[in-house]
Amino acid sequence: MGMTMSQKILAAHTDKKELKAGELIEADIDLVLGNDITSPVAIREMGKIKADKVYDKDKVVLVMDHFVPNKDIKSAENVKTCREFACSQCIEKFYDVGRMGIEHALIPEQGLCLPGDLIIGADSHTVTYGAMGAFSTGVGSTDMAAAMATGKLWFKVPGAIKINLKGKPGKYVSGKDLILDIIGRIGVDGALYESMEFAGEGVAELSMDDRLAICNMAIEAGGKNGIFPVDEKTLDYAARHLSKKNRGLFGENADIEEIKKGIGSVVGKIYEADEDACYEEVLDIDLSKLRPTVSFPHLPSNTRTIDEAEALKVKIDQVVIGSCTNGRISDMRAAAEVLKGRKVADNVRCIVIPATQEIYLQSLREGLLEIFIEAGAVVSTPTCGPCLGGHMGILADGERCVSTTNRNFVGRMGAKTSEVYLASPYVAATSAVSGFIAGPESVM
């Protein structure tokens, strides 16, 4: 029996040639990631096991993003712990205020993940990097500590669900709508400890930003990871970010095409699923039939099409456009397309959070920030902020928010009686203008 794409990547990081679902393995790690909440715990755990040094200072990344800029003394102390650890370990990939961004937007942007990599992070949305053809998954802080100390970690090999995509998405339908539709179909545990492996001709119709958003939310279906095949879009994205950041893998004067050709040699091999790979389930989706989709409280699986949502006339108090799911430049452009020449509705607060400093700067150069501010929105420095009830937009009792974030559990963004509705930037921006949950077709 053949192997899935994820199983092949895991096998390549062990001394085994073949792996089967359920098998326990110890694998070598290419990148270990932590943030300002999870890293302090991992740092303390390293001390408990008397590990004096990280296994490779160039393969450990610490991103300060959840409560940054620090909102209180506790968050300041957490970042101080990380800052001192990074200094003592000579970790150069330490991203603090001024350099930082939301980690799962920052890592691809900085050229730190490549096809075929095995990446773990002490944050559940580490699954994002499957968009690059990497096996990436979230772990606990104790596992992060073990990986920082040894460069290895134990895994149970996951089975897989194959998601065949065909057709082309319509106008205003994004990767966020696709993943919400999938979660609505299979439920929040429909892919429990499975790889969500995307395939089919429809993959080519999705941008890299779409794929990043889709893999980001694989965890909301219970998935161990999400992963896309490596195609020209993947290689072009990787090449551009590698060349921009000069990861040291290519010559100073190498052009994009040369870098694209060289990526395969850097990672050793571009992995593809075997034709006879075993899948627990196969899901077929026609992208042309999708509609903008909204997840109602209090589960990502509680989905409705925008047509169904609009009929309910749900009045809202706040809109958040940003996060590791939808804070990229294409998301900023989508929101600006709706908000240009329009005003945020009375009694609605609209908060826009570009996911990284580079995205913030690009938004500034393109005039997007001016559009947001003239519409009556506010623009924040990059931060996870309100997504996890951190800061920059906490909800009061009974308030409702349309958000481009990834979770809408009870109390996720503030008061237990508040409600979060998950949607794309198009729907979020339109809702900000309308004062009710609404799709872009209602104003565009």
For residue 83, the SS3 value is helix
Residues 163/183/175/363 CA torsion (nearest 10 deg)? -150
The span from the CA of 102 to the CA of 106, in Å, is: 6
> pLDDT of 21-57, one tens digit each?
999 999 999 999 999 999 999 999 999 998 899 999 9
Residues 397/309, Cβ–Cβ less than 8 Å: no
Direct distance between the N- and C-terminal alpha carbons of the chain, in angstroms, rounded to an integer: 51
d(CA 303, CA 296): 6
User: Per-residue pLDDT tens for 309-332?
Assistant: 999 999 999 999 999 999 999 999
Element (H, E) at 211: helix 208-216
The share of the chain scoring above pLDDT 70, in percent, equals: 94
DSSP string, 92-160: S-EE-TTT-B-HHHHHHHTT---TT-EEEESSGGGGGGGGGT-EEEE--HHHHHHHHHHSEEEEEPPEE
Q: 156: which 2 tokens?
A: 């149970």
Residue with tokens 């800029």: 69
SS3 315: strand
Q: Class of the 295-442 domain?
A: alpha beta
Alpha-carbon span 33 to 139, nearest angstrom: 10
**For residue 308, what is the enclosing H or E element?**
helix 306-311
Q: Output the pLDDT for position 262.
A: 62
State the pTM of this model: 0.93
- CA–CA separation, 352 vs 405, rounded Å? 12
Domain spans in the chain, listed from the N-terminal domain onward: 5-282, 295-442
- State both tokens at 81: 């712990």
Q: What angle do CA 175, 297, 173 make, to 5 degrees?
A: 20
Are 349 and 372 spatial neighbours (Cβ–Cβ below 8 Å)? Answer: no
Say whether pLDDT at 267 is over 60: no
**How confident is the model at residue 232, as a pLDDT?**
87
Matching CATH topology for 5-282 and 295-442? yes
210 contacts: CB under 8 Å, gap ≥ 6: 174, 175, 178
Q: Which phi and psi angles does 8 have, rounded to 5°? A: -65, -40
What is the Cα–Cα distance from 158 to 72, expressed in whole angstroms? 40
Whether the CB-CB separation of 338 and 440 falls below 8 Å is answered with: yes
The predicted structure's pLDDT at residue 236: 85
pLDDT on residue 293: 97
C-beta neighbour count of 232 within 10 angstroms: 9
The CATH T-level fold of domain 5-282 is Aconitase; domain 3 (3.30.499)
The first and second tokens of residue 135, run together, are: 């096996």
